[in-house]
Amino acid sequence: MTTSQKHQSFISEPMGEKPVTELAGIGEVLGKRLSAKGYDRAYVVLGQYLVLKKEEELFVEWLKDEANANNKQAKDCYNCLTEWCEQFL
């Protein structure tokens, strides 16, 4: 699996107060949609990922429904969070 520079950058350090747009797969448009619904920080999206028990299908569908993400964007975000969790949790 190849990962983007954004993905590599995100998983290389603690999450802290990073904005949601720091997550792989989340650009300005999706970031604005998520922020408008209260998901303004990466850790808030991580919380939803954990509530969905780290299940890919559930998270991908949630992100598609919540922010109108496409399949690739949703999977990139899922993979980013999964790898971050493996490293830091």
- Specify the number of domains making up the chain: 1
Q: For 62-87, write each residue's pLDDT tens digit.
A: 999 999 999 999 999 999 999 999 99
As a whole number of angstroms, the distance between CA 86 and CA 34 comes to 24
- Residue 41: strand, helix, or coil: strand
The pLDDT, as a whole number, for residue 2 is 62
Span 53-58, average pLDDT:
98
Q: For 1-27, write each residue's pLDDT tens digit.
A: 567 899 999 999 999 999 999 999 999
Q: How many CA atoms lie within 13 A of 29 on its CB side?
A: 5
Domain range enclosing 31: 5-88
CATH number at 34 reads 1.10.150.40
pTM, two decimal places: 0.94
When computed from its CA atoms, the radius of gyration of the chain, rounded to whole angstroms, is 11
